[in-house]
Structure 1
Amino acid sequence: MKAARNSGICMKLDDFTGVLSLEHLDVNTMVYLYSEQGELIGKIHSTKSSATFTLPQKGMYVLVIHCLSYPVEVRRVIY
């Protein structure tokens, strides 16, 4: 399992199942998941401090995290 941390948000990807977990989110954070072609795969409006996405297949994804507490954060996810 890989883990990355920036601006207080912890991101973990389970390489076996493709489950991407985000922890330490602020409430009302918007999280968007895009394919490498720019297609929106999913979005979450957090109502609690954690959220998960299940990645549909192996590949590269872009995660965009938008919250009023810090600047927009963009992360690359490779599964």
Structure 2
Amino acid sequence: MSALALQLKDYRLTTAEILYHMPDHPHLLQSYVWQDYDISPEFPQLRRFLDFWSRNLDGKLHSVKVDSQKLIGQSELRRADCMLSLH
């Protein structure tokens, strides 16, 4: 499905910063940034990705920060206080 079609179905651009323990050096943290269209606040795509990570990857998850932004919304309208013309 296209990005526009997803946005019209209330999907939002979601970014997650994932901190995880490096497999060879568990005391060190590494950062991974994940981004996709997802539905807030349940985030089914992100949960599916994190479940895959937990099952298949060696780096143990430390923390996840999530931000979500709706890209298509109502336009912001402002009333003009005056109108000027130049000749």
Instruction: Give the structure-2-normalised TM-score.
Output: 0.31
Tell which has more relative contact order, 1 or 2 (C-alpha 8 A, sep 6+). Answer: 2
More helix by share: 2
More strand by share: 1
Instruction: Give the structure-1-normalised TM-score.
Output: 0.33
Rg larger in 1 or in 2? 2
